[in-house]
Structure 1
Amino acid sequence: MNLRNITKTIALSTILAGSLFASDVVKIGVQAPITGEYANEGQSIENFVKLIVDEKNAQGGLLGKKIEVVTCDDEAKAQKAAVCAKKLVNEGVLAVIGSYTSGATEAAQTTYYRSKVLQTSDGTSDSLITNKYWTFFRNSFPNSSQSDYTAEYMVKTKQYKNIVVLSDYSSYSEGLGDATEASIKAIGGNVIFRGKIKSGTQNFSAMLTKIKEMKPDVIYYSGYYTDGGLLRAQQKQLQIDADFVGGDSNDNPDFYKLAGNAAEGTVLINFPTPEILPYPEAKKYLSAYKTKFQMDPPSIWPVTNADGLRAIMEAVEKTNSLDTEKIAKYIRTMKDFPGITGPFNIREDGERIGAKFVVYKMKNDGTKDVISQ
């Protein structure tokens, strides 16, 4: 970036910061896949943000200012995410909630950082905190914490001898797959194959036929539900006698639709799903969400994003400021902020700490049994 562009960016961020104080409105951005293959997640993130904002506006707003939600549909695509970032910055948002995928989140990070706009996301790729942007904090937990838990479950609890690890090529899925493979090997487990699929391919029979010849005890898939459900269905069609374990982004109602009867017995490793969250805030906000939208959120991710927004609002009120640097510093000093998804603590580098995971077994009726927590 040349000096002229840097000067323009600083000038723009200064103008936007000033306008935040002068305006009677505080704008909160939502960057999420409102359309496309992850639309049910993106729409629910937007819905939950609006629920939280409506509540706060009914209480008098944020520092006496009305909150307005500005949404940009990134379709979970990096190129569109970059466009969204510029659009939301130009709209003068204080903070952005999103995106759903790590790739789309990462594509927007630098723009928000240069413009001093806060960003919180459920993206779990460890690379999201590599740059240590003070504008960013994670409202979920990183791949590295999930991979260790997954390895312990597969190697020590289930004692699988022959493990296949699959991912797609996205930064989230590839990162989680690599981290899980490393965690398995670190505790003496045996990964007989580490493969990658192209997301959206629909037909995975060639890869699965190759895997069948290896006679695995388990197939672990670290990608999204849109491919995970099909992988599970095609595994059963090819009569591959192996358990199927899915990472957190397989935990979505559409997995059942795609897997059909093959969903039975699938194991998912994720944070606690919304319906079993034991916290008072969970009972309050999940009930309000269902009343307002006549449905439950499809997964835990819209809920963690709601906590990200709630943490920002808490920091604004405690600092009595719309200065994003002051807000970001306060967020990193929070101790057990009562989140919908549990105590909310953010490390200096923007990482959420205190991860808790649950192992679920799926049933054909669309429900899950908790088998370990």
Structure 2
Amino acid sequence: MMMKIDFANLPKAYQEHKTAIDQAMTSVVSSSRFIMGKEVVKLENALQEFTKSKFAITCSSGTDALLLAMMALDIKPGDEIITTPFTFIATAETIALLGAVPVFVDINQNTYNIDVNLVEEKITSKTKAIMPVSLYGQVADMDELNALANTYDLAVIEDAAQSFGATYKNKKSCNLSTIGCTSFFPAKPLGCFGDGGALFTNDEILANKISSIRIHGQTQRYIHKYIGIGGRLDTLQAAVLLEKLKHYDRDVERRQNVARMYNEFLEGKTKVPFIEEHNTSVWAQYSIQVENRDEVQRKLKELGIPTAVHYPKPLHLQECFSYLGYKENDFLVSERVSKQILSLPMNPYLKIEEIKYITAVLKDLL
């Protein structure tokens, strides 16, 4: 019997905490403190406690978090930032927006994160930072990257848009490097009801600078020390996130249970996602590789199973980055994975019957 599966199930995420979220939003509307209301400060304190970072600064999106991080580090035109081509475009787009140069490094074929063994050869006198992406919910190899950064006096910016709540050697993502950046886009493991993001650091000078830059470089009202942006998080979004963060550990555990069931039912039929022994994942995506992806996607859709591709074309082959001079076969792992990667429905509310249905249908197609 055909089922209708919800990929991210955002309606359920709201309904489960509807009363508390509605009350929190009503409180903001009643106060009319829509910009930098008290909920923003409360959320930042809660995020600090959650990650054990000394400072958490909320902002308007995960994209702006990356931009703010680089602005605080004084990234200038011509500076080079080492990152991965297998990620959402915001990772490299923000580098280019500042006039800096994205320098791509291929990914590890097992984790899909940046291959740390290939990073050092890309470091030049122009390199100012390394920006690893903690893809699909699993943190990159941060110890190795931090060691390289210390050797060459570089910053490390963790693009943790998909890994908030994940752990690396028992430390939380976002609290593993010079600056950590995350996203609260609605479909993220911890999502708000619009755009939102946050930055994390243990450096007080950087924290103060980020806080200023996100409000047009102000150090006090109408006094501007830096060139900045309008990068604040709306109070309404902060209120939503405060309520959802209270239950986030349980949601992460549910996601991990869903992933375990997927692994169990798919083991031996396809290569299931690989998680490093010292890592835990928050499973922003559950992604496998299939040879005949278009056909598999089409048949799954016919049977009520939505899928997604994260990501179908590596950044070095995107038209907007043609000026960098990359070409096909420059990053073989990224290119191969981009042709085969397929994300299955992943959310905390998937039932075992639904997972059995998804995997049974999928196994017939592989």
Name the TM-score, length of structure 1 as normaliser.
0.33
The structure with more helix, counted as a fraction of residues? 1
- TM-score, with normalisation over the residues of structure 2? 0.33
